[in-house]
Copies of this chain bind each other. A is one copy, B any other.
Amino acid sequence: MTEPLKIALAGLGTVGTGVVRLIETNADLIARRARRPVRITAVSARDRTKDRGVDLSPYAWVDDPAELAAREDVDVVVEMVGGSDGPALALARTALANGKSFVTANKAMIAHHGLELAKVAEDAGVALKFEAAVAGGIPVINGLIDGASANAVERVYGILNGTCNYILSTMEDTGADFGEVLAEAQRLGYAEADPTFDIEGIDAGHKLSILAAIAFGAKLDFGAVEAQGIAQIKAADIEQAHGLGYVIRLIGFSEVDRHDGMPRLFQRVRPYLVPLGHPLANVDGPTNAIVAEGNFVGRLLFQGAGAGDGPTASAVVADIIEVARGEMGPAFAMPVEELEPMAAAACGHRVSSAYIRFTVLDRPGVLAEITAAMRDAGVSIESMIQKGDPDQDGVVILAVVTHQGPEAGVVEAMRILEGSSSLTAPPLVMQILAN
């Protein structure tokens, strides 16, 4: 086992460069922990001349990343090119089929093609690993596959997108509105120039679908993730929520619904009200945190940096070290054919409390209209708060918190109110996370 493990890197952006730095900086330690040296043999990126702050001269340079999959001097291909399809996917397919193990931080590709790639890896007897694809440096995939392996996982949920968490916790701290904080996050590099994937919950959905497959032994189904983003959240919501004892966080939430004996997979990304005493309520800034609840272990929390070159490189190299040790188990903890296909669970019969924010005209009869709709839909109201004076258009914000009840009721109440002339915008519904 003293033969070095030979690595090829495709993509030398900040993460790829971070992997080079990590493998060089911690080389001795890695060799002791991996029980053999880990050596980079070849690299590939778009621009050979760019100064990346690391010396790449010891490594073979390859212009076409696809060539890495064919090299004799490569045991593991590490992909940091990005994109769910295109060159990254082509490289993954070829590398695995050629008997190279494959390590990636590419959540979009795994969310879309993870099952296909896992099958190719199994057939070739090599490893497919993607710890860095979920929650950056936090070893939560390892935590589910190894640490919590003895448990039937009852639910897995958490803060999976650092950009959204930075925006929400900054709105909380400063009282500023969404657009303002987003612009600041872009200036600081916490949000991309095109932030759609982050703020619409797509990125968190990619990660959630990967976690759910591993946690529940279910066939990965990104297409069934219900995703809603954070752009609608106003400073007033955060203030109201705080007054009620909650913070607002974008939560990816998944569990298996077995209400009629047939397992169905529930996967939702949505802003939730999180009770102040809940461990996720204290997660601020770009930090990520994931809760897994097991039938024996109870609630486990994994928290850390969800992005950044150092943390992501840490997760990539942890995967490489597992390959070096010969730990080549299936990518989703069990062989692909053993993963259970599960239909998407409808949310209607789920029981929860909800916060509903209405923007309404400040005129007589509005409250009566809303409360009548709630009554007709069988939704019981716990509290109703209207804070502040009407703005210049006579519009006020009204926050309603419901008692525990089936989500179908809230959906029905919103249907009844659809098109009401009292409402100046569609209501925003956020579930309250159980403590």
- Contacting residue for A32 out of B282, B299, B338, CB 8 A: B338
Least Cβ–Cβ distance between A395 and chain B, in angstroms: 36
Q: Does A265 contact B (CB under 8 A)?
A: no
Q: CB within 8 Å of B: which of A132-155?
A: 137-139, 142-143, 145-152
Q: Does A367 contact B (CB under 8 A)?
A: no
Q: Does A310 contact B (CB under 8 A)?
A: yes
Q: How many copies does the complex hold?
A: 2
Least Cβ–Cβ distance between A296 and chain B, in angstroms: 4
Q: Does A197 contact B (CB under 8 A)?
A: no
Complex-state Cα separation, A364 to B213, whole angstroms = 70
A292-315 interface bits toward B, Cβ cutoff 8 Å, 1 = contact, 0 = none: 001111111111110010110111
Q: Does A318 contact B (CB under 8 A)?
A: yes
Of A182-190, A266-274, A321-329, the one with at least 4 CB within 8 A of chain B: A321-329
CB of B334 within 8 A of CB of A33, answer yes
| Chain B residues, CB < 8 A from A384 | none
| Chain B residues, CB < 8 A from A294 | 314
CB of A302 within 8 A of CB of B301, answer yes
| Chain B residues, CB < 8 A from A138 | 147, 300
- Contacting residue for A297 out of B35, B150, B295, B305, CB 8 A: B305
Complex-state Cα separation, A137 to B148, whole angstroms = 8
Q: Does A29 contact B (CB under 8 A)?
A: yes
CB of B137 within 8 A of CB of A146, answer no
Whether A313 contacts B296 in the complex (CB less than 8 A), given A143-B139, A146-B139, A150-B318, comes out as: yes
Complex-state Cα separation, A151 to B305, whole angstroms = 14
| Chain B residues, CB < 8 A from A33 | 145, 149, 217, 333-334
- What is the size, in residues, of chain A's interface with B at 8 Å between Cβ atoms? 58
Q: Does A5 contact B (CB under 8 A)?
A: no
| Chain B residues, CB < 8 A from A315 | 150, 297
CB of B295 within 8 A of CB of A149, answer no
Q: Does A22 contact B (CB under 8 A)?
A: yes
Q: Does A30 contact B (CB under 8 A)?
A: yes
Q: Does A158 contact B (CB under 8 A)?
A: no
Q: Quick one: closest B residue to A303, CB to CB? A: B301
Given contacts A35-B329, A142-B143, A303-B303, 13 further A-B contacts (CB under 8 A): A25-B152, A32-B338, A139-B148, A142-B146, A146-B321, A149-B321, A149-B322, A150-B313, A150-B320, A279-B303, A298-B311, A302-B302, A327-B327
